[in-house]
Chains A and B, each alone.
Chain A
């Protein structure tokens, strides 16, 4: 895992990029790669690459980046890991390719030379990279199917720039800070900034599962190469019997964990009292890893109470013979870390605090790579949303499709029961939004609802942001072709929105701030493709139950039967205290207050009007 950046002055009139800018962007990402740094310039100085390295595979200096192909034609900067690189290497060597290093970065160079842009279909892993083809005078960018690794671009019409972080692009000093209303509105709707938008009009995310080509005529529109809905639709076209799920999951999850252990440094694991992380630990053991260190976050407030996950996590660690690191965190440390959290947070997010502390703990323990159970709930229908969203659509969808009914009901409720309307805005929204997947998803995951935005942001910003965001259109595109079942539809929605824009992004900035690579074996394209026929017939609850018995020594019964809490944490209370507001009555209200503090901490007015 690393930090990459580049500048391409593609237009003939463009001023030559400066080393100062390239380095300012690169050095903003110092924490992403403390083990090495490199720079490469084209002969005419119109194209420059920067790289910050966190050494995980092939620790030698030969594997430093930017890496140039032997004939000098291709140059790559790469952030991520290619887990199937040994197989790719063997395949390329059979075709006569000679490798100079044992790094996965070099495999990218050879694969691009061999397969061109089709190479992305052969990659298994998390990746964001740029390859310059000097002969074609063009730049090829790609980002993994789930969007585990970030890649941001900026184009002013003359010069194209890219980097692993939004703030790094801004640090270069040449990218406009003009606000993007869609990003501002998106943050208020979801508590994260939905890609491809950022808070800044000129900066965009290269969407997950997309490639992009840039040459002297400028950047082309990103091209999609991976479609989650299509994978599920394909699975639904030849569904597997429900009783095959456990065996299929066992084989596929073990294969994924084994692939994710590829490293020349120690790989640890984040351990909660949940099924996902516990199963990963068991599978690490099955994959043959002998020494395993597992890190659990414990909260001072919960010590000795039923909410404390530490005892159960300790049981799991003992169960699999792992060395257990327990890191206690209290509100005081949270308060002390708030400035650093906002500094590291690349785009505003209402979450990520837990990942910050568990990453900090890993770093303190000297661990450079850790597996996380992130993604298990999205893949195996672990969230309440898998039940709620289809249910709400069925119950309220018909009413919501009656023109004006929802709006009139809401207006009446606001007039007659203002206190209820304030406390339960989503309940009032049922008759207004539940007529589509987009609207119902918004009800489930939304921070604020669209009708609340004008009061918060001003009507101009709210209206323009909604118009540019095109949320309903985006959701429709995500669900095409039809994944085939309610559970897989929600899986697509959760994976393409909450997981991509919130969880994975938080894992990136919070992990990278501590120079820690977080790997997510349950967010794996091959795993998803293998499971797709079984997911087509999945029934609620069966997925997580099957995951609990995937290790050859199943998880303890106490863990498998425990109600899901994830990393149950008191951070909601801490956030509330930090905002200085009265104790909110709901978790949703606490998140709303926190979101305002996050925005204040991250950006300067007058971009948005935070009351």
Chain B
């Protein structure tokens, strides 16, 4: 297996979806015997990487990071330079060229949906492979990158083993939600992005309540858009039905997924939408929009519901009023499509390709 130098924003000790994806991907490679060295820009938490992976200290400054990456490349002489973010493409290309390695680029979501600067685009076009987390992101990459389409490969997110169906009575009790129909969204509330769709759900609540549903909408996550959403809830008269619970520790997050009757995230800007997978792996049905990467996480409607905007409210009403699914069956189906084994196998076969050529 090839030696891999990973230039990433964050991986072990990092937070958020991209750090998780990097951890999953690099761990999958290390388990098959690849030597992996990670050079991260951030590592706010302390987390030890598994055997076979070395992680260098984080370097936040651009210059320090670039120097660190180049020194590591020269020392390691990798066969593959894995670039975890489009913004680092020129540096990754330089490190790869310097050492005769193949460049593998990773693209996630909105950062890759619009044409990047000429230099970044050029660097991407030199890559032996561009990985994307969804078909949508891949298609957007192929809009601006003049590369053979076979070099653009989709490796979707995977879901951690800890997300499983189970009892959530304690959290139900703690949050005093017994007897309520619980809708849940997990996601960042960013005033500059506003694509997750929490506002769309808040606006749909009065209709559900009028129809006799004793519904509560739980919003997990943090962000500077929260005041606007709180104000919106007030304006439509449902502030008592909306709970902002902030960022949740992992154990609570899992319980929240289990407790919800429906995971709903009518987002228009998901690169993939890992939260859909986590919710469904916990046995909770999911509803999203038939837009961008969410289609992939919902498996074109096979696992969850991917609805067009116009039909969102009626589908929400229908799903909240129907009886719950077989949670074990749903969880099993999620793992069958997006489980660790599938992911690891896809990563291995994709990453071997550049060195086979």
Q: Is the CB of A15 within 8 A of B349?
A: no
For window 186-242 of A, CB contacts with B under 8 Å fall at 201-202, 204, 216-222
* Residue interface bits B324-336, CB-to-A below 8 A is 1, else 0: 0000000000001
Q: Is the CB of B299 within 8 A of A15?
A: yes
Size range of the interface on A? 20 to 34
Q: Is the CB of B154 within 8 A of A157?
A: yes
Taking a contact as CB atoms closer than 8 A, the residue among B142, B148, B152, B353 that contacts A217 in the complex is B353
| Interface locus among B48-56, B90-98, B132-140 | B132-140
For window 303-334 of B, CB contacts with A under 8 Å fall at none
Q: Is B350 an interface residue (CB 8 A)?
A: yes
* Residue interface bits B135-156, CB-to-A below 8 A is 1, else 0: 1001100110010111111101
Q: Is the CB of A470 within 8 A of B302?
A: no
How many residue pairs link A and B with beta carbons under 8 A? The number is 61
Q: Is the CB of B135 within 8 A of A217?
A: no
Q: Is the CB of B142 within 8 A of A201?
A: yes
Q: Is B300 an interface residue (CB 8 A)?
A: yes
Q: A12-B342, A12-B346 are in contact. Are A221 and B151 (CB under 8 A)?
A: yes
Tell me the dominant secondary structure on chain A's binding face. Answer: loop
Q: Is the CB of A155 within 8 A of B350?
A: no
Taking a contact as CB atoms closer than 8 A, the residue among A12, A178, A467 that contacts B146 in the complex is A467
Q: Is A306 an interface residue (CB 8 A)?
A: no
A219 to B146, CA, bound (A): 17
A40 to B149, CA, bound (A): 27
Q: Is the CB of B139 within 8 A of A217?
A: no
Chain A residues, CB < 8 A from B135 = 156-158
| Chain A, Cβ-Cβ closest to B356 | A220
Taking a contact as CB atoms closer than 8 A, the residue among A13, A216, A220 that contacts B353 in the complex is A220
Chain B residues, CB < 8 A from A220 = 150, 353
Q: Is the CB of A13 within 8 A of B139?
A: no
Q: How far is the CB of A423 from chain B (nearest CB, A)?
A: 34
Chain A residues, CB < 8 A from B299 = 13, 15
Q: Is the CB of B302 within 8 A of A204?
A: no
A36 to B132, CA, bound (A): 41
Q: How far is the CB of A18 from chain B (nearest CB, A)?
A: 11
Q: A12-B337, A158-B154, A204-B149 are in contact. Are A178 and B143 (CB under 8 A)?
A: yes
Q: Is B338 an interface residue (CB 8 A)?
A: yes
Chain A residues, CB < 8 A from B143 = 178, 201
Q: A12-B342, A13-B296, A217-B353 are in contact. Are A155 and B139 (CB under 8 A)?
A: no
Chain A residues, CB < 8 A from B338 = 13
Q: Is the CB of B149 within 8 A of A155?
A: yes
A560 to B342, CA, bound (A): 67
Q: How far is the CB of B288 from chain A (nearest CB, A)?
A: 15
Q: Is the CB of A202 within 8 A of B346?
A: no
Q: A13-B296, A217-B353, A470-B146 are in contact. Are A157 and B346 (CB under 8 A)?
A: no
Can you report 26 A-B residue pairs in the complex whose CB atoms are below 8 A from each other?
A: A12-B346, A13-B156, A13-B337, A13-B342, A15-B300, A15-B302, A155-B150, A156-B138, A156-B139, A157-B135, A157-B152, A158-B135, A178-B139, A178-B143, A201-B139, A202-B149, A216-B349, A217-B153, A217-B353, A218-B150, A218-B153, A220-B150, A220-B353, A221-B150, A222-B150, A467-B146
B-binding residues in A (CB < 8 A): 11-13, 15, 155-158, 176, 178, 182, 201-202, 204, 216-222, 467-468, 470
Further pairs besides A12-B346, A156-B135: 20, Cβ < 8 Å = A11-B346, A12-B337, A13-B156, A13-B296, A13-B338, A15-B300, A15-B302, A157-B132, A157-B135, A157-B139, A157-B154, A178-B139, A182-B146, A201-B143, A202-B139, A216-B349, A218-B153, A218-B154, A220-B150, A221-B151
5 closest pairs, A vs B, by CB?
A: A157-B154, A217-B349, A157-B135, A468-B146, A13-B337
